[in-house]
Amino acid sequence: MSIVDIARPLSPSSAEPSPPRRRRIGGWIAIAIVLVVVGLLGAALSGVAQWDRRDTLDPDSAGPDGGRALAHLLSDRGVTVSVVRDRAAALAAARAGGATLLLPDSPYLSDAVFAELADAADAVVVAQPQSRGVRLLFPGARVAGYGDATPVAPACSLPAARRSGAIVAGAVFTSRGDVTSCYTSGDGAALLQRRDGDRRITVIDASELFTNAHLAEHGNAALGVNLLGALRTVVWYVPTAADSDRTGAAPSIGDLTPGWVSPAIALLLIAGLVAGLWRGRRFGPLVSETLPVTVRAAETTEGRARLYARSRDAVHAADRLRVGALRRLARLLALGPAASADEISDAVADRVATPRAVVRDILIDGVPRSDRELVALSDRLRDLEAAVRAAVRSPGAAPAESERNRP
């Protein structure tokens, strides 16, 4: 008897029944409901946190850095707040007269455009000032850092500041010439104002005073209303990248590629998505696949046995035989699939009334050194299975004669 003859294929496990169609449909409905709920929740959160996508002191932003609270205060006091996000519209509104221009010192604007906007309005309040804006509108002035973190009184003759009371200064500035300086803190003043004929030009760090998070502190709200509400209209300019007139910037990838590239990429992405939906594998019951050749399971087992025989790996072949025998014995003795080899060996010894050392040598410990010993082990496994099967069918039957005489 060769290794090919004693290698037996394991009995195939029973296929799991396919889930009922109702369960599959219910699963898809549950997935669809979860996706809809997640989408609605994401849309709600996106709407609540819409201010995150807006700039500091944006009058439409309700976030901590937004300026919606100040815009509402001005509107409640009869001041018309005109929010413009276009440079040409801001220039036209300022030139119409009777308006205070809230002008941020934005990097999108060149020096010439910034000065042109400041010169167009009857009153200008420069918010978020930088060194450039202070230098252009207040000759000889400069940014001197930040003020102390304690409230300071106006200490100046400016009516709008005196009516407002104390504030905690943000950025402070030094000045020269005929300039009114209020809220002295640290090395400079938090507010500078000068007159150019009938025009009033004011610079103040509004990002530290007029935002939603700080407007209710000290005299911030009163100062914002007094400075911006002196005239009947406030032109609240929010510059964007489209307003930039700067040149010499590095070209983007879109500038370097032909105009047809972007539509072609979009068309390819849409085509790929449609192809994926068209040819994508769908979930459903298993179906038999048409194969060019059908190979019987016995041929695979015999081929593996020939490999074992060619390599003369008797130990590996014995392990395969024992694995199959242990599975069958566990089923005969009604042991669970999690039962270990030691537990199966002890149960077999108790059932056939054979010393545990003998059963353990057959099922676990014995190591065959040659094909002859491997064949002998195969016979002993077969006899042991037959003895267990007989004991299970007839509980009072004696163990097999071959097992009692086996050394």
In a domain, 324, yes or no: yes
Q: Which of 205, 224, 243 is the last residue of a domain?
A: 243
Q: Are residues 183 and 331 in the same domain?
A: no
User: Which domain, by its residues, includes 362?
Assistant: 299-405
**pLDDT value at residue 382:** 92
Please check whether residues 321 and 398 belong to one and the same domain: yes
Supply the pLDDT for residue 401: 40
Output the domain CATH number for residue 181: 3.40.50
175 located within any domain: yes
The pLDDT value given to residue 6? 34
Position 218 scores a pLDDT of: 87
Angle (CA) 25 27 31, round 5°: 120
- Quote the number of domains for the chain: 2
Residue 143, domain member (yes or no): yes
42 falls within a domain: no
The verdict on 170 and 59 lying in the same domain is yes
pLDDT for position 182: 92
Q: Are 235 and 304 members of one domain?
A: no
Q: What angle do CA 261, 267, 273 make, to 5 degrees?
A: 140
- Give per-residue pLDDT as tens, 266-285: 888 988 888 877 776 666 67
Is beta strand 99-104 parallel, antiparallel or unpaired with respect to 123-127? Answer: parallel
Q: 10 Å Cβ neighbour count for 82?
A: 16
Indicate whether 186 and 97 sit together in one domain. yes
Provide the sign of the torsion angle of the four alpha carbons 109, 113, 117, 119, taken in this order: positive
For residues 100 and 236, state if they share a domain.
Answer: yes
227 with 129, same domain: the answer is yes
Tell me whether residue 165 is in a domain.
Answer: yes
161: in domain: yes
pLDDT < 50: residue spans in the chain: 1-18, 49-52, 397-407
Last residue of a domain, one of 208, 243, 278: 243
pLDDT at 22: 62
| Whole-number pLDDT of residue 252 | 65
My answer on whether 57 and 196 are in the same domain is: yes
Same domain, 108 and 206: yes
- Domain C-terminal end among 243, 266, 283: 243
Whether 173 and 303 map to the same domain: the answer is: no
Per-residue confidence (pLDDT) for residue 54, from 0 to 100: 63
Same domain? 66 vs 215: yes
The per-residue DSSP string of 145-176 comes to: EE--SS-B---SS-HHHHHH--B---EEEE--
Cα 78 to Cα 307: distance, rounded to the nearest angstrom: 96
Does residue 372 form part of some domain?
A: yes
Which pTM was predicted?
0.49
Distance, CA of 200 to CA of 183 (rounded, Å): 18
Residue 204 phi, psi dihedral angles, 5° rounding = -160, 145
Which pLDDT tens digit goes with each residue over 51-88?
445 677 888 888 888 888 999 999 988 888 988 888 88
Query: Does 90 reside within a domain?
Result: yes
- Please check whether residues 217 and 304 belong to one and the same domain: no
Q: Which residues pair with 204 in a beta bridge?
A: 191
